[in-house]
Chain A
Amino acid sequence: MATGAGKGRRAFLIRLAQGASLAAAAGLVWTYVLRNQARATPFALRPPGARDEDEFNALCIKCGQCVNACPYDTLRLATAWEPRPIGSPYFLPRENPCLMCPDIPCREACPTGALGREMERIEDARMGLAVIDTENCLSWQGLRCEVCYLACPVRGKAISTERRLAPDGGYVQMVPWVHSEHCTGCGVCENRCPTEEASIRVVEARLVQGRMGAHYRLRGAEPGGVMVFDPPASPDAGRPSTEPTVPGLDALNLGDLP
């Protein structure tokens, strides 16, 4: 009897251990798949109001009500095996940018709170951040373009054009600058950019944005004051020089010559 009971207990414990091991093995693989899926996020631009990555991934129930609510068919749900978290909403600005509806219907449709209610105006959305490839940007290469500046819905704030003297001197370029404090990441600029591959693109801000750290003292910043971005734009900077130019010398340096 005693050995029988002992055997029964032994067999039970072994089965328990086997069951636990099976569950643990399956669980580890499963968790790996989950985390791997969730890690794909940096390549997905979320609808306006989306909470930060981890919270959004946890809260989004993948129902697609935001997709249905979008009047411009901008949003779509990721299918399986896309390089984006499965079933979650995203948009591709080059194909169809967010047109920033003031009533934010996609956010209103979200039943779970993955798209947060805190944001009051669509201008406060931070879906991503536009970055410029200056090597391929027409304006930065000396042509007149400024399409992104003109198309930007946060006109004049998110993208400004600044005058700049061409590196080879002699004429003025109007080059676009992106200002992260105003850029919503809607992607209209990327959509309209006339180069073959967009030279201004919207990416998730944390992929490209650094943080300086509070301990740096900036030249020109008053203690307790705010450093304002102020591009150099002296009235004469861009004007073609009336002086005879010296080949091989920068026009700005003319005054330094003996």
Chain B
Amino acid sequence: MNHGQEAQRTWNGRTVRLYHLPNTLSGKLWAWRYLILRRVTQFSVLLLFFATAHWAWVVAGQPLISGNLSASSLLGVIPLADPFAVLQILFSRHLLATEVLIGAAIVLVSYALVGGRVFCSWVCPVNPVTDLAGWLRNRFDLANALHLNRNLRYYMVALVLVLSLVAGLAAFEWVSPIAMLHREIIFGIGMGLIGVAGIFLFDLMVVRHGWCGHLCPLGAFYALVGKAAQVRIRFDETTCTRCGECIRVCPEPQVLNLNQAARLGRVASGECTNCGRCVPICPEDSLSFDLRPLINRHNQRSAETSARRI
């Protein structure tokens, strides 16, 4: 197979093909399906909060979703709350009402099940901004001006909790550019957009994926929560040619540890945001969304078949 016109790379006897964006519009839309879905979800979340606040959207006589991402009330009965914000308030040595504690528990359990950082790539309003910065960075081929350790964000979580304890105030909530952006979109624009502008410049000019991938304590918190995630990227070792296209597009490339993924049959790290960039770009369709129990069953079956073959 390898004596073609050009010397092609091979891996495990398989020809390494690279990804090509389809020429047709439908092909492009299909290739961008998760990107489009993510933008729709992000926009819808904002729209629902905004419409409830300004256009009084109601369902069954109840406000649809009142509040914002920090805390809200769905249909007037189901409380929802940002578990990291609630944790900070508890660290500030103050007792909270039951309602917000239940809300935080609901959100925490939901994100723990679907993969904590689903928040980051499907809900967080900062994500489109940092994605834009990352896209521009690729367009203009800008190099990093600074090296940051990706584990810095976990130290940020620790720092936020210690400061909440010392200052008696929820340390991140008072300066969070995420909360500022989201709040000011819904309740009135102010200087909170400055924080997002800062993140944009930082991501564009200083560090690639600087905020979401290195500093944001909320993302780090959800990465810790997401260890139990049931929705995961399944990895099919038998078709992968190690072309590296997935790692090139992934905003958290360290999660695509393919040797570990081959062993487990899935991307394991909680830092994976389930954004789905890697799925359509894989030329061999080796990566796909799947549920953890199904992946385990799939692994078992393929292990049995290969054992039988031997």
Task: Say whether A63 contacts B94, CB under 8 Å.
Answer: no
Q: Could you tell me the distance between the alpha carbons of A206 and B35 in the complex, rounded to whole angstroms?
A: 53
Known: A58-B89, A79-B184, A80-B195. A112 touches B190 (CB 8 A): no
Q: Could you tell me the distance between the alpha carbons of A63 and B53 in the complex, rounded to whole angstroms?
A: 11
Q: Which of B159, B183, B194 neighbours the largest number of chain A CB atoms within 10 Å of its CB?
A: B183
Task: Say whether A86 contacts B180, CB under 8 Å.
Answer: yes
Contact among B95, B103, B168 with A111 in the assembled complex (CB-CB below 8 Å): B103
1/0 contact string of A57-68 vs chain B (CB within 8 Å): 111011111011
CB nearest neighbor in B for A87: B183
- A37 at the A/B interface (Cβ < 8 Å)? yes
Task: Say whether B183 contacts A27, CB under 8 Å.
Answer: no
Task: Say whether A80 contacts B92, CB under 8 Å.
Answer: no
Q: Which residues of the other chain, B, contact A76 by a CB distance below 8 angstroms?
A: 187-188
Nearest CB of chain B from residue A221's CB, rounded to whole Å: 40
Known: A27-B163, A63-B68, A111-B81. A79 touches B189 (CB 8 A): yes
1/0 contact string of B186-204 vs chain A (CB within 8 Å): 1111111011000000000
- B71 at the A/B interface (Cβ < 8 Å)? yes
Known: A31-B166, A79-B189, A80-B195. A61 touches B175 (CB 8 A): no
Task: Say whether B169 contacts A38, CB under 8 Å.
Answer: yes
- A109 at the A/B interface (Cβ < 8 Å)? yes
B69-84 interface with A by 8 A CB criterion = 70-73, 79, 81-82
Task: Say whether A112 contacts B71, CB under 8 Å.
Answer: yes
Q: Could you tell me the distance between the alpha carbons of A49 and B103 in the complex, rounded to whole angstroms?
A: 22
1/0 contact string of A150-188 vs chain B (CB within 8 Å): 000000000000000000000000000000000000000
CB nearest neighbor in A for B102: A111
Chain B residues proximal to chain A, CB less than 8 Å? 52-53, 63, 66-68, 70-73, 79, 81-82, 85-86, 89, 92-97, 99-100, 103, 155, 159, 162-163, 166-171, 173-175, 179-180, 183-184, 186-192, 194-195
